[in-house]
Chain A
Amino acid sequence: MNTRTNINTLKCLVPFTIAEALEMKAAHPDAFPIAGGTDVMVWMNDGKMPGRTYISLHRLAGEWRHVTGTSDGGISIGALANYTDVRMNPLVIERWPLLVESARVTGALQIQNRGTLVGNVANGSPAADTVPVLMVYDAVLVLANTKGERRVPLSDFYTGYRQTIMDGSELITAIELPHAALQPNQYFRKVGTREAQAISKVVCAGGSTPGGKQFRLAWGSVAPTTIRSFKTEETLANGADAEEAWEVLKTEISPISDIRSTAEYRLRVCRRILEEFIGHQSVS
């Protein structure tokens, strides 16, 4: 039987400065940070996370809502930059087209105006649409606490289903993308349940460097976390065909059946996507 979370049992802390935010997080390691809140609000409908303390970051937009280019040709996306901020950014449009594509198919306009890219990463859903893209772009997360900050490659961030290497004292302050050294024919495929407002059944992002020297391929909704299929990438770089690549890929993914789709369907679609990706890369 469905019950909602008793909102009277929730506490919400509201920091006004970054320093304050980090102090609050240090003092309340179990506190749950909220940026756009687009996932948290849905959980409340299911009675999840009762009695918790939340840290609402909305007052930090002045410092954390940036999408700015870096001197080495990369970009820094602040913790409070929403999907619309990202997909409308001219630099992102020019250099990281898959980010635009994936942000555009995340939820719909309402979610895109509210939800944040960092939130999408932090939430740890294996079905996140932007995370495979960020992995393909070799994203690095900036984690901070009162003692300082550290940089962690996104591919090393997740340790299990909705589990990350983050310490209770830390917040993600930004995502940094290096200059994308990929050919223009980058690939993105969201297999959703419909054209908008859909959670992915399978999501894939990929690309290759000039001459097919290196491949990058990341997948969502086919494992407990979003994954980079490094072994498949290597096989492809060594000149494998679709069938050989599939033999490798199927060892890297482990789809399950759930309310949205079946393990069997996900497997078959992954194979077809892999074929489509390879075809897509070879036409260049």
Chain B
Amino acid sequence: MSIAPPYRYIGQSILRREGREKVTGASRYVDDNVIPDCLHGKTIRSTIAKGRIVDISFGEGIPWDEFIIATAKDLPRNVVVLIEQDQPALVEEFVQHKHEPILLLAHKDAGLLEDAARAITITYEEDKSAAFEIGEGSLQKEYLIEEGDIEKTFAECDVVFEEVYRTGAQEHVYIEPNGFVGWWDGDNIHLRGSHQCPYYVHKAVKTAFGLKDDRQVDILQETTGGAFGGKEDFPSTVAIHTALLARKAGRPVRMIYDRAEDMACSTKRHPSETRLRIGCTKDGKLKALDCDFRIDGGAYITLSPVVLSRGILHGSGPYKWEAARLVGKSYATNSPPYGAFRGFGAPQSLFAIESAMSALAEKLGMCPVEFRRKNFLKKGDVLPTGQALEGDPMLDAIVDKGLQMADYWNRAKKIAPIPNRGIGLSVFLHGTGFTGSGEVYLASRVALATRGDGKVEVRVSSTEMGQGTETIFPQIAAEVLGLEVDDVLFVKPQTSKVPNSGPTVASRTCSVVGRLVERAAHDLKGKLNGTPIADYHATHGETLGEAKYQAPPGLYWDDEKYRGSAYGAYSWGINIAEVTIDPVTMHPTVENFWGVYDIGTVINPTLAKGQVEGGIAQGIGWATCENVVLEEGAMINTHMTNYIIPTTMDAPPIMVDFIENPYEYGGFGSKGVGEIPMDGPGPAVLNAVSMALRRPLNKIPIIAEELLDD
């Protein structure tokens, strides 16, 4: 059933569908909804990290009878359902973190709402046992991956390297803060908002209100200016709150977060601590890896188990080990829950292994490139989970291309003697799609539908959030159906109109869901059997091409033992960073950055490069300037002026290229692209800074204040 090259649309940089609207400001974001008789909603949050609510008092001077006030008691089931059901939508009595939602207010006057919020006083009995550091609180989840006899192998090593690596939290800083508008029509709730997974919101709202029928909940995704995982699970809470106020008010409600509120209370990247012990021979052959990977999960489980899982599954890097033991532990703390962020645990564990590889090369007196090269995974090699690599990772080719682009050898030679200048690299991998049996459980579905005008609609719940979903799916469908790409329309994701193709996460959209779009197009093509769409539609009415996820043959995963193929495919890459340290301020500047990636078939080169460049800038930010300052577990630098993300003036020239090594079961041979850009910059920048300072560092963000010790 395959369509063979040369392709008409695959590999072409078709213009981004919604690009014109976005750059001209015509796009409608959630806050642009104009709804008559709409009330403004506001969340009243905890000001302590742990304790019991003793009293809530409503101060003088506010016309409280005009306000809609909702509490946990108003909710049929007080839960934000995700993996577990431990997180309440509103605190009933016990507060588990700062900024936890307690009360909801609604009023037609947004200004008065702010005064009302200030007039509420909540008295607590504070519990001083709050935990804020990894390891202080209870264990949320633990995983173990073990391959080979670890201690015996260590005993055979000439060199054993040990280090502890740490990474900080990171805020997503999507364009628009979280927000929903919602209204009830009878027993049906309509919600429109900024989010990346319409069906996650659907499930959470349906559960919280105890609704019986899926059709009672309709979730629409408004234009979403980036999400990066930040709008994977968190929007469910905002949606429940909006729906609750709207139900109590009997009127539409808009709940649009302020940036400071959003930053303070929403999810962040999990801070991590990785204890590594690496054993190798004196000539640089890796033998044993002992990786103890720990993350701060925050006050509720949310997505931490799966973040933890992806973390340890990437913790062994793109290397072959004789024996490996990877332990992952997620700890509960009294921080607002940490959540999904581009890379989902892998950037943290890859940061550790890739920083260690350069430090260990230095210790061995070896070149960091040749040391890595000596240990790269090859076709047929076995990962610590027991998965034998079916495809060839082509790491040598990827590395060669990266080195050539960066003119690495000449550059490194030139830079080496100059103080405060450095060049560093990282090599990494990223598994495509959900981990383990995840895709099987999701059982994603997509549909293509004929229209009377001869066009076809793509119906998926995969959202456009800047990465290109709206453009690449029409490319894939048009390629199969032999249509003009403009005759394939993308339906705005809305749960009443599109099937559940799963969440827009895990680098799965192009490869996993794209494959389903490809198969659905073949399904439709078979039905049409050469008849033009308009004619077929006239005779048969709306006709669907459909596809449901099927695991690639031979893909096996054991959730209990954590053995098997964690991912059907891996993307691979190299990053090279060149840095300068200002000798007066110790401020690191990334001067140049190179990246070469194998993401399988590149469906749309311009979009793919944009996706990668954005991820690199985000990774550089994580490594250098994005410092989440926590006080009692919660972020306090909640403004764009004091949470420092790189501007265009800070981002270096970024040179990106691809090596296309197609994956048989990905959409037109594609593999994951969304997250891998986040994996390499942290260690590449750290390794460059370590070289510049002539001492190995072990922590990001790299803060000038910590480097300056006279």
Q: Footprint of B on A, CB under 8 Å?
A: 1-9, 42, 45-47, 50, 108, 189, 191, 193-199, 259-262, 264-265, 268-269, 272-273, 276
Contact = CB atoms under 8 A, between A and B. Distances in A.
Given A6-B112, A7-B111, A196-B649, A259 B260 contact: no
Contacts of A195: 647, 649-650
Given A1-B117, A8-B112, A9-B111, A45 B650 contact: no
A226 to B, nearest CB: 19
B649 A194 contact: yes
Nearest to A196: B649
B642 A3 contact: no
A47 B261 CA distance: 12
B705 A261 contact: yes
B117 to A, nearest CB: 5
Interface of B: 44-45, 47, 99, 109, 111-112, 114-115, 117-118, 258-261, 264, 583-585, 587, 625, 629, 636-642, 644, 646-650, 704-705, 708, 710
Nearest to B645: A194
Given A1-B117, A6-B114, A269 B708 contact: yes
A2 B625 contact: no
A259 B637 contact: yes
Contacts of B650: 194-196
Contact of A2 (B111, B638, B642): B638
Contacts of B710: 268
7 contacts: A1-B44, A3-B118, A4-B114, A5-B114, A108-B649, A260-B642, A264-B705
Top 7 A-B pairs ranked by shortest CB distance? A195-B649, A6-B111, A8-B111, A2-B260, A196-B649, A265-B705, A272-B584
B104 to A, nearest CB: 13
Nearest to B115: A6
Contacts of A259: 629, 636-637, 642
Contacts, number: 87
B649 A47 contact: no
Contact of A45 (B109, B258, B647): B258
A48 to B, nearest CB: 12
Contacts of B644: 193-194, 198
The winner among A196, A261, A264, A265 for most chain B CB atoms within 10 A is A265
A200 to B, nearest CB: 11
Contact of B260 (A46, A50, A198): A46
B109 A1 contact: no
A87 B415 CA distance: 36
A196 B99 CA distance: 31
Given A194-B650, A196-B650, A265-B704, A2 B112 contact: no
Contacts of B117: 1, 3
A262 B638 contact: no
Contacts of A9: 111, 115
B625 A194 contact: yes
B638 A194 contact: no
A269 to B, nearest CB: 6
A108 B647 contact: yes
A8 B109 contact: yes
A196 B258 contact: no
Contact of B259 (A45, A189, A191): A45
A42 B259 CA distance: 12
Contacts of A196: 647-650
Contacts of B264: 1-2
A42 B641 contact: yes
B619 to A, nearest CB: 16
B588 to A, nearest CB: 11
Contacts of A197: 640-641, 647
Nearest to A272: B584
A6 B259 CA distance: 16
B118 A47 contact: yes
A273 B47 CA distance: 41
B653 to A, nearest CB: 14
A108 to B, nearest CB: 7
A269 B582 CA distance: 11
A111 to B, nearest CB: 11
B649 A268 contact: no
A1 B45 contact: yes
Contacts of A199: 641-642
A194 B109 CA distance: 38
B450 to A, nearest CB: 48
B270 to A, nearest CB: 23
A268 B583 CA distance: 12
Given A189-B584, A259-B636, A194 B647 contact: yes
A193 B588 CA distance: 11
Given A108-B647, A195-B649, 7 more contacts: A42-B639, A50-B115, A198-B644, A199-B641, A260-B642, A262-B705, A269-B585
A42 B47 CA distance: 23
Nearest to A189: B584
Contacts of B260: 2, 45-46
A265 B708 contact: yes
Contact of B114 (A3, A269, A272): A3
Contact of B585 (A3, A50, A108, A191): A191
B111 A269 contact: no
Contacts of A260: 642
B259 to A, nearest CB: 7
B63 to A, nearest CB: 13
A1 B99 contact: yes
